[in-house]
A = this chain, B = another copy of it.
Amino acid sequence: MERINRWRAQGGWQEVWRHDSAETGTPMEFSIFLPDAEGPRPVVWYLSGLTCSWANVTEKGEFRAACARHGLIFVAPDTSPRGEGVPDDAEGAYDFGLGAGFYVDATEEPFARNYRMRSYLEGELPRLLAEHFPVDLARQAITGHSMGGHGALTLALRNPGRFRSVSAFAPIVAPSSCPWGQKALGLYLGADPAGWAEYDAVRLIEGGARVPALKVDQGAADGFLAGQLMPERLLAACEAAGQPLEYGLHEGYDHSYYFISSFLSGHLDWHAEHLG
Chain A residues with CB under 8 Å of chain B are 7-11, 13-14, 59-60, 62, 64-65, 219, 221, 250-254, 256-259, 261-262, 265
Contacts and interface: CB of A to CB of B under 8 A. Distances in A.
17 contacts: A7-B254, A8-B219, A8-B251, A8-B252, A8-B254, A8-B258, A8-B259, A9-B261, A9-B262, A10-B261, A10-B262, A14-B258, A60-B60, A62-B62, A62-B261, A64-B261, A64-B262
Contacts of A262: 8-11, 64
How many copies of this chain sit in the oligomeric assembly? 2
A64 B261 CA distance: 9
A258 B259 CA distance: 20
Given A8-B252, A11-B262, 19 more contacts: A7-B254, A7-B256, A8-B221, A8-B251, A8-B259, A8-B262, A9-B258, A9-B261, A9-B262, A10-B261, A10-B262, A14-B258, A59-B59, A59-B60, A59-B257, A62-B62, A62-B65, A62-B261, A65-B265
Contacts of A252: 8, 13
A248 to B, nearest CB: 13
Q: What secondary structure prevails in chain A residues at the interface with B?
A: mixed
Contacts of A7: 253-254, 256, 258-259
Most chain B CB within a 10 A radius of its CB, from A250, A251, A252: A252
A131 to B, nearest CB: 25
Contacts of A253: 7-9
Contacts of A11: 262
A263 to B, nearest CB: 9
B259 A9 contact: yes
A54 to B, nearest CB: 14
A62 B258 CA distance: 10
Nearest to A56: B59
Contacts of A251: 8
A206 to B, nearest CB: 33
A254 B13 CA distance: 12
Contacts of A221: 8
